[in-house]
Amino acid sequence: MNSLVALAGTSLLNGSGPNSVEDFEQRIPGFSVMQNFFKKWLRLELTTVLTIAALMGAASSGVQSLQETGSKIYWWIVRFLTASISIAGNDRLNREVLNWLGAHVLTQKSTRILTANSESVRNEAWHYRRVTQERNDLHHEKRMPVQYLPTFGTTWFIHGRSLFMVKRILTSNSHYHSSWTRTPDEYAGAPEGDEPLVVMRLGRSVEPIKNFLETCRDFSDRQREAYITVRISKRSYEDSWDASILRPLRPLETVHFDEAVKKALVADIDNYLDVNTRKYYNGRGIPYRRGFLMHGPPGTGKTSLALALAGRFGLELYLLHMPSVRDDDSLEKLFTALPPRCMVLLEDIDAVGIKRRASRDDSESESDSDDDDDNDAYRGRSSCTLSGLLNVLDGVASQEGRIVLMTSNFAEKLDKALVRPGRVDRMIYLGHISPRSCELMFLRMYGPDVHGGSPADRAVTLPADELERIAREFSKHIPEGVFTPAQLQGFLLNYRDSPLDASTNIAQWVRDEVEIIGQAKERARKAAEQKKKKKKERKLKKAVELAEAMRNHDSDEELDALRQRMKARRRAKGKVDNETGDEGKEAAESTDAPDGADEIVNGASDDGDPMSSDAAEGLDKVGEDYNGLDTVKPVLESYTPATNGVSEGL
């Protein structure tokens, strides 16, 4: 058919007209048969149909070449008359330009085609804009406000007396592709946030564009000033810092603890960030890193202090909750992805390196570890090992120039290798609140806030000296070292509107809380006693079982095997005490005999006899009393030296 149309086109061009049927017949055999068919059944002249088709084809290719010429002329004019700067999709500046457009152009212009964003968990573009429209928690708003950005295509605007165009370009990564015959881009789908931009300006100089980009950056900086960026790793399977959250900046003055310690801490970081310090470190081959450990009971401000410090020094805070880090590999990947100048917060550092011990505890109901009570506090919480952590803190692959902050509620349990200088350069204790800090907290809660308003608009505003007097009165009721700052903050929040009510009710609150704390302590003491007793009973039971097995052994080999087991356990225990690695723990975990039994075996081996006859007799009695464990210990204590070890080991 195409050849027919082409032939019709040629005939037309040659001026031979649509009637030269002979020509067609000559070149295309069977043409007259088709001609007859068309005439008879469709009442159409085939040559006429072909000629029309040829005319349409010629018109279409004419339009196409006209389009191409038009497009060439358009781009030539564009090149001649405009200047432009392109910005990659993943560049922060890209977001900053969109941000500026969203705030200045789209709100003022009656743009009718936009992209709407509400809450996204993956795309950080809108985080920079989020600050302009905040969720009003006071009125219990459940939704984030919708924000608007330019969609695909060109946004026109005037800036600094120049005509600007910002073109958001569809890429192969964008979900939708459309040509002019299909749905236009701006209707086909929303941009994903990583499309490149081209900023153009009518005029031949790029300087105004550079100025415009600076304006966009300044605008974003101003928005960010009151916030700090906290980056977290959310998608555990990817090991990347995938989400950023803007947290309101927290002034350091709002974290109450020893003022001298606070001052020294700030001076330390100030000094560390000084450019000369970096030179000093580098010049002397000292790794340029600084680590701080913030420790103390829960609710004493460790996390708050980290946030305040990040804000104070204008650094991004990279937050890792250690128990949720998958393994050493993940930890290393996350650390490798850190920028050189940032703060890293490792929360609950004490959860590292205890996994195997924890799983042993879980799988064995009859644990005999002396540390059981202590380990309960953070049982089974992290998959990272201590060596993995030490490696990222100062291994060869670890970045220089960052500040690592660690928090722990159990600093005394931390391994010495972790808290040695170079990894932890300064330890900051955040403890229970002092009366002076209470006073400061009171003044902060009821004084004017950083934005100049009252803490609660509904609060009765009191003259400053009156407020100070009440604050002093208030703090007199707070006993030293009993309450955490979080507890006190909780109390004050109950009286947000009225400092006077807070002051009136504090005495009663303190009495009630002290009583509650006393009761809780008493319960905890009893529970600990009970637990200790049970543990002793378990150990004793095991010792007795082993002693019986020794007495009834069938062969020297069996005895020997038992002895080997005991020795292996002793060696492993020694390793655990001396080393920080996991091998010792693993070996220790591979055996399960109790300490007392260990002594029995060793005592027995001294005289070449597994048991003295006295011991054997005693054990008969133990066997009888087996179910009454309370009576077992006195029985064992009356034993010969071979069994005395049992009670020593308890």
- Residue numbers at the binding site for ligand ATP (CB under 6 A): 254-257, 298-304, 407, 409, 430, 485-486, 489
- Please state the closest distance from residue 522 (CB atom) to ligand ATP, in A: 23
Angle at 395 between CA 391 and CA 396, to 5 degrees: 150
What is the closest distance, in whole angstroms, from the C-beta atom of residue 296 to ligand ATP in the complex?
6
The smaller minimum CB distance to ligand ATP, of residues 203 and 431, is found at 431
Q: Which DSSP category does 40 fall into?
A: I
What separation in angstroms does the CA of 335 have from each of 325, 375, 382, 426?
12, 27, 17, 21
d(CA 46, CA 290) in angstroms, rounded, equals: 89
Q: Which is nearer to ligand ATP, 349 or 650 (CB)?
A: 349
Q: In the bound complex, what is the minimum distance in angstroms from residue 257's beta carbon to ligand ATP?
A: 5
- Please count the other Cβ atoms lying within 10 Å of the Cβ belonging to residue 130: 19
Smallest gap from residue 300 Cβ to ligand ATP (A): 4
Give the nearest distance from C-beta 293 to ligand ATP in angstroms.
13
Q: Please state the closest distance from residue 254 (CB atom) to ligand ATP, in A.
A: 6
> Please, how many CA atoms are within 13 Å of residue 207, restricted to the half-sphere of its CB?
1
Min dist. Cβ of residue 310 to ligand ATP (A): 13
Question: At what angle are helices 435-446 and 499-551 packed, to 10 degrees?
Answer: 130
Q: Give me the least distance between CB of 139 and ligand ATP, in Å please.
A: 21
What is the closest distance, in whole angstroms, from the C-beta atom of residue 595 to ligand ATP in the complex?
A: 34
Q: How far apart are the first and last CA of the chain?
A: 102
Report the C-alpha gap between 306 and 293 in whole angstroms: 10
Closer residue to ligand ATP, CB minimum distance, 298 or 421? 298
Greatest Cα-to-Cα distance within the chain, rounded to the nearest angstrom: 133
Closest CA to 95 of 112, 65, 62, 120: 120
Residue 306 or 632 having the CB closest to ligand ATP: 306
Taking the least distance from each CB to ligand ATP, the nearer of 301 and 594 is 301
Burial class (CB in 10 A: 0-12, 13-18, 19+), 126: buried
Residue with tokens 């950023």: 244
Based on CB atoms, which residue is closest to ligand ATP, 407 or 475? 407
Where does residue 50 rank: exposed (0-12), middle (13-18), buried (19+ CB within 10 A)?
buried
**Comparison of 301 and 610: residue with beta carbon closer to ligand ATP:** 301
Please identify, using beta-carbon distances, which residue of 155 and 407 lies nearer to ligand ATP: 407
Residue showing the smallest CB distance to ligand ATP in the complex: 301
Residue 258 sits at the vertex; the CA angle it makes with 253 and 259, to the nearest 5 degrees, is 55
Least CB distance from residue 365 to ligand ATP, whole Å? 30
DSSP 8-state code for residue 42: I
Cβ closer to ligand ATP: 176 or 491?
491
Considering Cα of 593, then 594, then 600, then 603, what sign does the dihedral take? positive
Minimum distance from residue 277 beta carbon to ligand ATP (Å): 28
Q: How far is the CB of 426 from ligand ATP (least distance, A)?
A: 17
Cα torsion through 536, 538, 539, 541, rounded to 10: 120
Of 349 and 430, CB closest to ligand ATP:
430
How distant, in Å, are the alpha carbons of 391, 416, 417, 422, 585 from that of 578?
A: 19, 11, 12, 21, 11
Determine the Cα–Cα distance for residues 292 and 306; give it in Å rounded to an integer: 10
CA trace torsion 267, 272, 277, 279 (10° rounding): -170
Please, which residue, 254 or 369, has the CB nearer to ligand ATP?
A: 254
Q: Which residue's CB is nearer to ligand ATP, number 24 or number 442?
A: 442
